[in-house]
Chains A and B, each alone.
Chain A
Amino acid sequence: MPVFHTKTIEAILDPVAQQVSQLVILHEEAQDGNAMPDLSNPVMAVSAAVQNLVKVGKDTANSTDDKILKQEMPPAFTGVEESSNKLAEAAMELKRDPYSSPARKKLIDGARGILSGTSDLLLCFDQSEVRKIVRVAKGVLEYLAVSEVVECLEDLVTFVKNLSPGMANMANKVTSRSKELTHTAHANGLINHTENLKRTTPVLVSSMKIFVTVLKKGGAGRDEAQQNRNYIIGCMSHDVNEIIRILQLTSADDDELS
């Protein structure tokens, strides 16, 4: 059985995957000795649905500025279209010979191909959505580095004003994403690092305030205050980098977080 990366993809494809598995078992146990009915109509319905998906997919790919999505779409289209053609061939062959074993095998291969091709297509779009979240996280990462140049209270206020909405936006997106993942370890990793960031953001602001105050009072204890602030920035940067890394994992990367 295939492993689906997100709950949305799983909800759409898993019931069909189970049905295809049952058909495979029937075929492999040689319990499919009865005459196959005319499958022309259901195969045509699959073909129409595939053509619609390809059309919608091409429209979306044409309108996006995500270059990776544009590159990854065509092979996914080809996979699902080839499987649809295979189904049509199987239906024709079964119409001629309702007992044909090679045609039954072709039917199963076609159904499996439709599943994996549709899964690949959905994964392409899903990864495009992931890249949008990664961009937000990278923005936060870059902005965290700005904290090292804040040396007065006015700049600190500006820094906090800019950091807070960015951090909240990222946390919301990452939390939503964690709820979508079927891989528990990946989901928990995202939640844990997001919680770390929520906890350490006020600590960072405090450490920056101490640093600014130390500078204002003449600089005694500057090194310690700076080291403390930099340590917190390091921890937060680590959490954001881990979020970026985990976001980009797929279900195939099962052992990445073990």
Chain B
Amino acid sequence: EQILEAAKAIAAATSALVKAAGYAQRELV
């Protein structure tokens, strides 16, 4: 359960990073 929560946190942080990088170019869906 802890592993899944930690993986969810990585997914959320990576998503925020990719969005930040993508928004600079063109809005990501």
| Chain A positions near chain B (C-beta within 8 angstroms) | 8, 12-13, 15-16, 19-20, 22-23, 26, 31-37, 39, 42-43, 45-46, 48-50, 52-53, 56-57, 59-60, 80, 87, 104, 107, 111, 114-115, 118, 121-122, 125
Contact = CB atoms under 8 A, between A and B. Distances in A.
A99 to B, nearest CB: 11
Given A36-B24, A42-B20, A8 B4 contact: yes
Nearest to A8: B4
A37 B24 CA distance: 7
Contacts, number: 101
Q: Is the interface of B mostly helix, strand, loop or mixed?
A: helix
B15 A19 contact: yes
Q: Is the interface of A mostly helix, strand, loop or mixed?
A: helix
Given A19-B19, A19-B22, A20-B18, A49 B3 contact: no
Contact of B17 (A15, A53, A80, A87): A87
A121 B20 contact: no
B21 A46 contact: no
Given A39-B17, A45-B16, A46-B17, A118 B10 contact: yes
A12 B4 CA distance: 8
Given A12-B7, A23-B28, A57-B3, 10 more contacts: A12-B11, A16-B18, A20-B14, A26-B26, A32-B24, A37-B24, A42-B16, A49-B13, A53-B7, A114-B10
A45 B2 CA distance: 18
A18 B19 CA distance: 11
Contacts of B15: 15-16, 19
